Structures are given as structure tokens and as C-alpha cells.
Amino acid sequence: MTRITGIRTLDVRAPTSITLAGSDAVHQDPDYSGAYAILETDGPHQGVGMTFTIGRGNDLCCAAIEALAPLVAGRPLAEVVGDGAGFWRRLTNDGQLRWLGPEKGVIHLATAAIVNAVWDLWAKEESKPLWRLVADLTPQQFVDAVDFRYLTDVLDRDRALDLLQAQVPGREARIAELERDGYPAYLTSAGWLGYSEQTVRERCRAAIAEGWTAFKTKVGIDVASDVRRCEVMREEIGDLPLMADANQVWEVPEAIEWMRHLEPFDLRWIEEPTSPDDVLGHAAIRRAVAPVGVATGEHAANRVVFKQLLAAEAIDYCQVDACRLGGVNEVLAVLLLAANAGVPVCPHAGGFGLCEFVRHLSAIDYVCVSGSLEDRTTEFADHLHEHFVDPAVVRGGRYLLPELPGYSADLWPASIDALTYPTGSVWR
Amino acid sequence: MTRITGIRTLDVRAPTSITLAGSDAVHQDPDYSGAYAILETDGPHQGVGMTFTIGRGNDLCCAAIEALAPLVAGRPLAEVVGDGAGFWRRLTNDGQLRWLGPEKGVIHLATAAIVNAVWDLWAKEESKPLWRLVADLTPQQFVDAVDFRYLTDVLDRDRALDLLQAQVPGREARIAELERDGYPAYLTSAGWLGYSEQTVRERCRAAIAEGWTAFKTKVGIDVASDVRRCEVMREEIGDLPLMADANQVWEVPEAIEWMRHLEPFDLRWIEEPTSPDDVLGHAAIRRAVAPVGVATGEHAANRVVFKQLLAAEAIDYCQVDACRLGGVNEVLAVLLLAANAGVPVCPHAGGFGLCEFVRHLSAIDYVCVSGSLEDRTTEFADHLHEHFVDPAVVRGGRYLLPELPGYSADLWPASIDALTYPTGSVWR
């Protein structure tokens, strides 16, 4: 019986601010980074989990992982995964540490790293990729991993069981479909805000040639340049789906006004039009900009925020984040909330490691929870994958299902040597 | 011209978990703590600011203060306070650090410590207590300190100026009134959840003898013991105002059901009945439990959450926290939002340092913003004040106005020696 004997942390950062990959209206010089929680065990495997940041402060997440470590170290894995909801509740409700959130900010990002590491370890012990581990759970086992606290006015355990039970028939057929066709994806990395018009054109053309069928651009600094960028992208991609991402830059009335200028471009969604905390603001924007959809989630702090975004009919697309939420357990909760509300889940990705994680999450959503690919598409950006032992692979604009055991956070030793902050070779 | 030359941090913790002072349904063994930001200057004063935590993780807030320090160190004080909103925006919108929030959790608590230290330094330079410094600002100067980002759909600068302008007449009369009578307060420390019935009775009697006229009890672990506790308190305090605080322990439907059992006790408000992120849940509870009011705010992450609590008519009492919000600048924003909505501000206090701070904030609210004492009362708990150079003083159930220059975070050297974690005498 494997026991978690301790937790190590690892602070890795990629110097993406040099190329402006990842740049947007609010984050103009990100260094895409991972704060790692590495569960040491007395068995053959380590559990490797990560949370994503964009540079400075990654060390704070590592320190927070260390602060949470006593709640995990010494425990048998079977005990932790046998009571997933209880474990998650203990981690997020330490009588003193919870004051730092609760369930938000640095302490919740650190929770994500640890929780993701637990699932990685469990999947490795079962010799399955994470998505397969979850697909093989019974509906009962699935809900046992979910803490329904603060959700029961909308979704309780029984309702969740009904939702999951309804998707049991056809699970194997959907897995076979994903193994054959992959999961639909869209490309963000043609339209980073720091790129020139020429770069955008070249990247769109290369992407079309690779088989991409959906695209996203960054907007929000200047109306005229947004209009021009949308024109350029429409010229290059024709009438393929085009989304836009404002990264929280607008006031509520400003978002509504700005989107009038982008009406000609038939955008599928506007993403993060305002403060990620502003549920009611998103609802007001959604009412005003229809038929353009509203998408948000990468900064939605926890399942309670998603509960409200869905209850207020504030979003058309639910963008769960593998690391902003408190790891797999809370992601499962939000997948259930979204299915319950009939809103498609289109995970946020693009950051360091996120593409590696979301292919698992989208597969879980399709196979176990929603049973639908309609109006679903998962973000992809084409950088930093070379650092991962089990990198995200896209063919013809669709994510291939990962096959290696675990949750895909493992880095190559050479990448650890290069990216470790501040001692790695790229930082020296 | 004073320049901020650097920032030191200080991690102080009081071992309150030994006596259960501060215990509630969710935080059962708090060690009330302060993460200090100390602004070193080339002038005669230091700026001393603090954020409040309940023990473990206080070091994470100190580390986050250090992460933010480069945004402050080296700046002239006049430049920082001359563009208060701009300074606050820079601190909360560092292109990389903002990912850790934005504006929530550890990084926002750290922001509070630094921002509070800036105001302390400014007030010391002006030889005024903070409340007087703010009361002496023109409405124009007041709004210059407020970042209206994400608020303008409800409250913009012009509307805020109108609100402040309307309160200019009578400011000196209200100051004279507060100097004579103090500001109305209520007592929490008779009803900590860890106290026995006998202790509660004794503390209520002592408080009545001291002139207290309003009380709060903790609830939420067990209906029968809550009913008993309310009975005991009603027996002791008669028909004086009694509030109850559930500290986030309930589901939305559970809160509504539980409050039925407390109907006989004519509670003035139920505080934090559920998740602090659940704006819509608070609104549902408020509709169901009226005429009992709903109060919340000590865990409301930022002004955007307050904007929504007010817009959704989810609260009857707005409980700003001096340290959960990003310091004085954001508190001023929330005072304006509450006045704009006609909702009374009843600040959260009781924790280490919080009583020292809120007497300034309530005075500012009355003198400059709301102009009303109706239905207002500010929390007080009777412990830990001995550590502060300028401790909160209550007479006859009312806070006296502080008179020493600054924002009252300064500790006695002996208290620093005793409480510094982990090297101080109480921790060795």
C-alpha cells in the first residue's frame, strides 16, 4: 500500500516575456511558469502536480504548497483517494490556512498543485492516463470525489448521480470516437497581442495548413487595432469560428460599447470581458452582446463562482481551468454544474502545462458528464510542449487522447535543469 | 520630501488558540496574527501597516509583501499619495503578480498591509490620526484615492463626488459629535463559540456593567446549542440588539431552515450564513429570513464582490474589513458603494489590530461619506489591544476617536519581542 512520505516543490519558469508569446491586454510580459508539488512515496511512483502562474509569485505558490504539505504527508494513497471529497475538504478547510482564501488566490493555486499530484499518483499506480482512470470510475465513485459544499441549492449528490448515470450507456463508444478522431480544439497562438499583423497572417496560414478549424484573438487595448486584427484574421481564416479574448480589460458599459465595433466579425464568443469576479456584470454583457456568446472561467476562483455564473445565465461557455480551481476534484464539480445547466465546457489552456491537462478534462467531460461535443472546443497554444514527457499533441485541429499513465505534468530532466528558477540555465 | 527607501516585514502571532478567544464554527483554533509591512524612509517616520490572518500562512503574506515591495521601494511619498488611485492600480495590476489573484487571497492581503502602511506614513507626516487626515481631504482628493475600475456601471467618479459633496456641510459638527460621544459599537467577545454557558453569562454581565448595548454570538455547529446560547444571551442582555454570526458554515437552504429555529430571538442580523463568494446565495437567504438582516463582508475579496452584494440586494449590513480589502483606498471605494446603495457600513473587527483600524474607518464613513449613524454599529472584541501603542478604547459601548498620528498599527517593542514568530518569547 503506497504511502505519501513527503512533498517537494519545484519552481520552473519559461522566459516567454522575451518573445511575447502569451501576451494580452492585461498580461503584457508573462513568463509562463509552473509551481510543482511532487509527492514522494514509498512506492515506485511519484505524484507530480502543478499549478500555473505567469512568473513572479510562482515562489509564493511553492511556499503555499509547503504550508499545506503537513495535511498530506504521511497519508496512505488509498485513504486519500478512497475519500476524495473528504480529503479535498480537509485541504481547503484547514482551520488557520483557510483564512488566506478561502478557496481563492495563492492558497487555492497551491491546493490545485497538490490535488493534481494526488490524481497523477493514483493514475500512475493504476497504469492509466487520468482521463481513463476517471472514465473507469462508477458514478458513485465519481461523486465521492466531489465536495458539494455550497452547491446543494443547485446541485446535490443525488442529482449529480442522475446526470452521471444517464451517461453510462455509450461511454465506451465515446472513448472509441475520441481515440479515433481526437477532441475538437481551437488555436490561440496565432493572435497574441504582442504579434505584428504579418506574424498573425503567417501563423494563421500555417495553422490552416495544419488543419486548424477554429481560432481566437486577443483584443482590448485599442478599438481600431482590434478591428484591424479581426479583419486580418477573417481574411486568413474565412468563415471558420473566431473567438476574441479581452482578458478582463473593460468596464461593463465599455465592453458592451466596444463589442458593437466588432459586430461585423461574427465572433463566437467574447472571453473575460470584465472583472472575473463580476457575475452580474457578465450577465449584463451577455444580454447586450448576443448573439455573440460570453465565455469566462480561467480566473473564476472556485466552484461557487461558477455556480453563480451559470445560475445568473452569465456565460455561454464554461472555461474551467485545471489549476485555478482546486485541482481535479473541483474541476469535476464544475463539469457537473455545467452539464446540469446545459452549458458547454470549453477549458482554458495555453499556459505552461495547461494544454497537457485539459485534454484529460475534456475527455472526461465528454465520456462521463456531458456526453456531447456540440459547441465544445478546447484551447491550444503551440509553445512549451517540448518540456513535457507526455506533451499535448494536436492533429487536424483536434487533441489526441493521451496514453501514458498519469496526469501529464512530468517534465524532462533537461527542462527542469533549464527552467528551474532562479538557478536554471535559462535564468543564469 | 520623504522617500520610501525599503520595506521590512514582521510576522507576529498571538497564541489565542490556547484560550479559544476568536473561535467560531469554521475557525476552531485561531492564532490571531498580523503580517506587517514596515516602510523605511529617509524621514523621521516609518509607515507601519498590517494585514490580519489567523496563524499558519501569516508567513505567506509576509513573503507576498516582499514580492510587492519593488513596486513601492524608492518612491517619494508625495508621488505615491498624490496619485492614490494610480498607485493602487500599479500595486494590484503588476503584469505577473496579478495572476495570483487578481485582487484576492494572499496577494491582496499583502496589498492591504502595504497600502495601510502608506496611509499610516502619510498621516504621521501630517501629524494627524488617519480619520482626521481623510476628513481633511477635499471630495476631489478623496476620489483621487479611489480606483473606480470595474465599478463604473454602478458608481463613477462624478457620482462619488456628488455623494461626498453632499456631506461637506456638517462635517465639523459630526466630528465634534464623535469626539464627544464616540462611535456606536457592539461586543463579540462575550459569545465566542468555544466558551461555556457560564463564561458567556459572566462576560455578558461584565459587559452590561461596562455600558455595552449591543452583542453578537457565534452560531452554526448545532441547532440545539445555538438556541440555548441565544436563550442565555437574551436572559442576560434583555431586549438589547443581538446579532449572530455563522462564519460561512451553512448551505443556502440549510441557512434558511436553521434560521427558523432562531426566530424567537429577534436577531438583528445573521452574519456570513454561507460561502462569502455566493452573492446570489446571500440574496436568496436575505429574502427568506427577513426581517432578520443579512450581514457579510469580512471575506468579501474586493470591491467588485461588494458591488454585487449591494446590486443584488443581498445584504442589509456592509461589513468592510480593513485588511481583506486592499487597504484604505479600496475601503473608501466600498464606503462609497454602500452609501450609494443606502446600506449601512458596520465594519468587521475583533481580530488582531482590526479594532484599532475600524474606529478610523467608521469615523470616515460618518464624517465624509454616509453622514449617518442610523443602524450603524462597529464590532469590538476585548483582547490583544495591550500590544498596540494606540489601542482601541471603548467607553459606554462606543469607540473613542483615536488621537495619535497614523493608522494605529504600531506595536510596543515588548510585544514585538514576545509575538514575533517563531522566535518570540511566547513561541519559544
Least-confidence region, from A236-245, A395-404, B15-24: B15-24
CA distance A111 to B306: 26
A167 CB-near residues (< 8 Å, 6+ apart): A367, A368, A369, A370, A371
| Cell numbers for B161 | 463626488
Which pLDDT score, from 0 to 100, does residue B25 have?
76
Which pLDDT score, from 0 to 100, does residue B356 have?
98
> How far off is chain A from B313, nearest CA to CA, in Å?
12
Under an 8 A CB cutoff, do B253 and A93 touch?
Answer: no
Q: Which residue of B has its CA nearest to A150?
A: B251
Mean pLDDT by 10 residues, chain B (428 residues): 97 89 80 98 98 98 98 97 98 97 98 98 98 98 98 98 98 98 94 85 95 95 94 96 97 98 98 98 98 98 98 98 98 98 97 97 98 98 95 98 98 98 96
Per-chain mean pLDDT for chain A: 96
The answer to whether the beta carbons of residues B289 and B259 sit under 8 Å apart is: yes
- Which of A391, A392, A381, A395 has its CA nearest to residue A415? A391
Which pLDDT score, from 0 to 100, does residue A35 have?
98
Which pLDDT score, from 0 to 100, does residue B313 have?
98
Q: How far is residue B353 from each of residues B54, B158, B347, measured CA to CA in Å?
A: 12, 34, 13
Which pLDDT score, from 0 to 100, does residue A23 have?
74
Q: Give contacts of B252 with chain A, Cβ < 8 Å.
A: 150, 152-153
Total residue length of chain A: 428
Read off the pLDDT of residues A308-329 as tens digits, 9 standing for 90 and up.
999 999 999 999 999 999 999 9
Task: Tell me what the mean pLDDT of segment A57-66 comes to.
Answer: 98
Under an 8 A CB cutoff, do B30 and A94 touch?
Answer: no
Q: What is the largest CA-CA distance in chain B?
A: 62
Q: Which residue of A has its CA nearest to B54?
A: A96
Question: Choosing from A216, A282, A348, A387, which is the catalytic residue?
Answer: A348
The answer to whether the beta carbons of residues A188 and A216 sit under 8 Å apart is: yes
Q: Any alpha helices (H) in B167-246, and if so which ranges?
A: 171-181, 197-210, 223-237
Which pLDDT score, from 0 to 100, does residue B285 have?
98
| Cell numbers for B319 | 461589513
Q: What one-character-per-residue DSSP string does B390-401 give?
A: S---EETTEEPP
Q: Which residue of A has its CA nearest to B311?
A: A280
The answer to whether the beta carbons of residues B347 and B378 sit under 8 Å apart is: yes
Q: What pairs with residue A143 in β-bridges?
A: none
Q: How much is the pTM?
A: 0.98
What's the half-sphere exposure (Cβ side, CA atoms, 13 Å) at A51?
A: 34
Is the pLDDT reported for residue A139 higher than 90? yes
Which pLDDT score, from 0 to 100, does residue B28 have?
80
Do you find a cis peptide bond into A291, omega within 30 degrees of 0? yes
Q: Phi-psi bin for B193: left (phi > 0), alpha (psi -120 to 50), beta?
A: alpha
| Cell numbers for B316 | 442589509
Which pLDDT score, from 0 to 100, does residue B22 have?
73
The helix/strand/coil state of A40 is: strand
Would residue B261 show up in a list of annotated catalytic residues for this protein? no
Which pLDDT score, from 0 to 100, does residue B99 have?
97
Question: Choosing from A104, A218, A307, A387, which is the catalytic residue?
Answer: A218
Under an 8 A CB cutoff, do A57 and B97 touch?
Answer: yes
- Which of A294, A269, A272 has its CA nearest to residue A283? A294
Pairing of strands A242-245, A269-271: parallel
CA distance B123 to B134: 9
Which pLDDT score, from 0 to 100, does residue A346 have?
98
Q: What's phi and psi for B186, nearest 5 deg?
A: -130, 160
ipTM computed for the complex = 0.97
| Cell numbers for B159 | 457620482
- Which of A69, A51, A68 has its CA nearest to residue A11? A51
CA distance A326 to A304: 12
> How far off is chain B from A64, nearest CA to CA, in Å?
7
Which pLDDT score, from 0 to 100, does residue B21 have?
73
Under an 8 A CB cutoff, do A64 and B106 touch?
Answer: yes
CA distance B292 to B278: 19
Q: What one-character-per-residue DSSP string does A382-419 give?
A: -SSGGGBSS---EETTEEPPP-SSB-S--B-HHHHHHH
CA distance B149 to B163: 18
What's the half-sphere exposure (Cβ side, CA atoms, 13 Å) at B342?
A: 1
Q: What pairs with residue B318 in β-bridges?
A: B296, B345
Is the pLDDT reported for residue A391 higher than 80? yes
Which pLDDT score, from 0 to 100, does residue A255 have?
98
Is the pLDDT reported for residue A188 higher than 80? yes
Strands (E), A238-359: 242-245, 269-271, 293-296, 317-318
Is the pLDDT reported for residue A115 higher than 90? yes
Read off the pLDDT of residues A212-229 as tens digits, 9 standing for 90 and up.
999 999 999 899 999 999
Question: CB distance from A272 to chain B under 8 Å?
Answer: no
| Cell numbers for B241 | 440588539
Alpha-carbon dihedral of residues B67, B73, B77, B83, nearest 10 degrees?
A: -50
CA B155 to chain centre: 22
The helix/strand/coil state of A250 is: coil
Residue window 203-242, chain B: list those with CB within 8 Å of chain A: none
A234 CB-near residues (< 8 Å, 6+ apart): A242, A265
Would residue B348 show up in a list of annotated catalytic residues for this protein? yes
The answer to whether the beta carbons of residues B51 and B330 sit under 8 Å apart is: no
CA distance A159 to A162: 5
Q: What is the largest CA-CA distance in chain A?
A: 62
Q: Give contacts of A64 with chain B, Cβ < 8 Å.
A: 57, 60, 106
Under an 8 A CB cutoff, do A106 and B105 touch?
Answer: yes
Q: What's phi and psi for A323, nearest 5 deg?
A: -120, -25
Q: Give contacts of B307 with chain A, Cβ < 8 Å.
A: 278
Residue window 279-308, chain B: list those with CB within 8 Å of chain A: 279-281, 284, 299, 301-302, 304-305, 307-308
Which pLDDT score, from 0 to 100, does residue A21 have?
73
Q: Any alpha helices (H) in A151-278, and if so which ranges?
A: 157-166, 171-181, 197-210, 223-237, 252-261
The answer to whether the beta carbons of residues A221 and A193 sit under 8 Å apart is: yes
- Other beta carbons within 10 Å of A418: 18
Q: How far is residue A227 from each of residues A201, A216, A295, measured CA to CA in Å?
A: 15, 14, 20
- Other beta carbons within 10 Å of A152: 15
The answer to whether the beta carbons of residues A104 and A301 sit under 8 Å apart is: yes
Q: What one-character-per-residue DSSP string does B288-316 give?
A: HHTTSEEEE-TT--SHHHHHHHHHTT--S
Least-confidence region, from A175-179, A197-201, B166-170, B331-335: A197-201
CA distance A387 to A182: 22
CA distance B150 to A59: 29
Do you find a cis peptide bond into B276, omega within 30 degrees of 0? no
Q: What's phi and psi for A36, nearest 5 deg?
A: -95, 140
Is the pLDDT reported for residue A1 higher than 90? no
Q: What's phi and psi for A156, nearest 5 deg?
A: -110, 180
Q: Any alpha helices (H) in A99-170, and if so which ranges?
A: 105-125, 130-135, 139-144, 157-166
CB pairs under 8 A between A and B: 192
For each of the domains in chain B, give its residue range(s) and CATH number, in order of start.
Answer: 171-409 (3.20.20.120)
- What DSSP state is assigned to residue A327? S
Which pLDDT score, from 0 to 100, does residue A190 have?
85
CA distance B360 to B232: 33
Total residue length of chain B: 428
Read off the pLDDT of residues A78-89 as tens digits, 9 standing for 90 and up.
999 999 999 999
Q: Which residue of B has its CA nearest to A104?
A: B105
